[in-house]
Amino acid sequence: MAIKRQGYGTILFNSPFDPKKDKKLGHEHFSFIKPDDLIVLTTRPPLDDQNHGDKKRVNESSTHLEEQVFAEFQKYLAICARSHVQLTPAVGANFERFDLKFYQHKNARLKSYRAHRESHSIKTPEDSEFAIGFFLRTPSIPVYGCGLLACFGMGGWETLIWNRIVRTRFPDWVSRPSFVISQFDMKGLPDHPPTLAFADKIKVDILLEHKIVG
């Protein structure tokens, strides 16, 4: 972000919402957000965690801001939970990995995938360690009008590596509205690396790049 001369604003705490004791934060709590701001999200958005039944899940904050961020994501992701991601037909109708399933134990590698309108999934090899990275940069989100940049994998380790890859290899994406899906191989990674420098040698394949207009 510094390369693109985007100034730092503040951290937004997205605390888990407890309906028994918490009150939802409305629009008035985020009035400081301006149309020329950019919200940066570096974790997976829990669009469907509450209803998907996965053992590993992220809790929603149920704030007004989060609802608008989710509304923007839902233009591209029909389903987004820890074990399952499905694209919207508008984005992935012709993409062979329209529907993706992920392992939940040990790591978040890709388990299987299928194309739109296909009933059978293709399983990845048992010894494969392929991870999927998602990147979304949109000009504005509903109500607030500010930009959104989201960069995440399906697990913590995958997300750290993918963010490093985007920062070092694709810095121009920050200012280019698009929705991107990548695949990278997690096999043979060091057990206890002191830095993320090892990620610079990981081979990355861009599977889908959907340009966003408007």
Domain that holds residue 184: 37-211
Assigned domain for 97 exists = yes
pLDDT at residue 4 tops 60: no
Residue 63: half-sphere exposure toward Cβ, Cα within 13 Å: 15
Assigned domain for 148 exists = yes
Residue 7 sits at the vertex; the CA angle it makes with 71 and 195, to the nearest 5 degrees, is 85
Assigned domain for 2 exists = no
pLDDT for the residue 14: 87
Cα separation, 89 vs 97, whole angstroms: 12
Structural tokens at position 44? 């997976």
Assigned domain for 126 exists = yes
Beta strand 84-87 with 204-211: parallel, antiparallel or unpaired?
A: unpaired
Assigned domain for 107 exists = yes
Assigned domain for 1 exists = no
Q: Pick the closest to residue 136 from 38, 48, 204 (CA basis).
A: 38
| Predicted confidence band of residue 166 (pLDDT cuts 50, 70, 90) | very high
pLDDT, one tens digit per residue, over 37-83 is 999 999 999 999 988 888 888 888 999 999 999 999 999 999 999 99
| Predicted confidence band of residue 3 (pLDDT cuts 50, 70, 90) | very low
pLDDT at residue 148 tops 50: yes
Assigned domain for 27 exists = no
Q: How many domains are contained in the chain?
A: 1
Assigned domain for 31 exists = no
pLDDT, one tens digit per residue, over 80-124 is 999 999 999 999 999 999 999 999 887 899 999 999 999 899 999
